[in-house]
Amino acid sequence: MAEIQPSVQRFIEYLRIKTVQPAPDYGSCTRFLEGQAREIGLGFQTHEYVAGKPVVVLTWSGTSPEEPSIILNSHTDVVPVFEEFWTHPPFEAARVATGDGDFRIIARGSQDMKIVGHCYLEAVRRLRSSGARLRRTLHLVYVPDEEIGGEDGMARFVESAEFARLNAGFALDEGMANPGDAVRVFYGERAPCWVRFVAHGNTGHGSQFIENTAAEKLLPIVNWAMDFRRQQLETLRTPKDDGSARTLGDVTSANLTVLAAGVQHNVVPESASACVDIRMTPELDYAAFRRRLEALAAEHGAVAEFVQFWPDSTMTPTDASNPFWTAFEQALGAMRIPIFKEIFPAATDSRYLRRAGVPALGVTPLRNAPILLHDHNEFVKESEFLAGIDFYASVITAVASV
């Protein structure tokens, strides 16, 4: 087997740390990052807003530290695994030859998103070793719990005095692999609206025509949700006015995820509920949509309970009004990497940054690669990881020179 480059070996070491939910080993991860900071020569801080859930910040001071800084954000936790479906242990980070001189690095978190967090480190290591000096200060931020909503991680961090002292002006965060040739760049994301519709009604024996039942009240609400879903799916399948295809981020999806009612077969239930997972495109008026759901429930004698509702639809400008976008775009142009701009279909920690007033772009520099986040046998190719270091060395230099 070919000799492993030091950067690859460090990446494998990072992947082997079991930061898997629901009991991530954040302690080992923090020690690893502290060691990297020491080797590279970066400042190192940890902040805990919830015990045992550290936000780690590595800092490279710029030549103009008074200027707003650049945040390179990544989350350290990964989602659970079903080991019986993996060809190799998911935290072994096996390096498997592909037969063409390349290798697959098979590990949970290899795509989502430890490749990004570690490419930051290796890019900064390379830049510092070359003697580069950047105008703006860089903060490499490693946050916990993104995979379970980020409430104890980035959500608390952006509200802290420590975050305010970073004086952040721009941020990079995670994106998604692309089976095509372009790098997907996410400038906004769909907002979660998890709503539970609950109805109460008369009960009685299942042999009778009981009137005003919970099911009667709930059914038209479920039908509305399914009709809305069909309309949005039709919109997704309809090309835009310029002939280009729509992406999932352009529409609002809705899925009926839980139906609950009844105690036994011959008893008409006193209550019934339906949970709908809705992801709202930022083109939607969120407040008006929430009022529509509340009115829908009231119209049929039910109530709408919002388990989760994100009210902010801020998007990052991707035009000349944003000098960081211009620098980013020019850096990718110099590398001859095409860009595909879109709305992220789910939720990331970027939403907390954007709401805090920090323009953020979501980028994972995996092109011509399968989308394997949260999947069995998640992997990246070694060549993709090494190309990612080149990518971030160029992008970091560009945006930190604005």
Enzyme catalytic residues? 77, 146
CB contact at 8 A, 370 and 179: yes
Give dist(CA 360, CA 346) in Å, integer: 15
User: Which of 151, 104, 146 is closest to 8 using CA atoms?
Assistant: 104
Runs of H (alpha helix) within 51-169: 115-129, 154-157, 161-166
341 burial via Cβ count (<10 Å: 0-12, 13-18, 19+): middle
Name the 3-class secondary structure at 216: helix
For the beta carbon of residue 28, count every other beta carbon within 10 angstroms: 13
User: Which of 110, 90, 114, 145 is closest to 32 using CA atoms?
Assistant: 114
What residues contact 219, with CB distance under 8 A and at least 6 apart?
none
Token digits of residue 49: 């807003």
Q: Would you say how long the chain is, in residues?
A: 402
DSSP string, 360-380: EEEE---BS----TTSTT-EE
Burial letters for 76-86: b for 16+ Cβ neighbours within 10 Å, e otherwise?
bbbbebeeeeb
Burial letters for 40-60: b for 16+ Cβ neighbours within 10 Å, e otherwise?
bebebeebebeeebbbbbbbb
CB contact at 8 A, 50 and 152: yes
Token digits of residue 275: 């949970």
Query: Measured on CA atoms in the order 202, 207, 208, 210, is the torsion positive or negative?
Result: positive
Q: What is the largest CA-CA distance in the chain?
A: 83
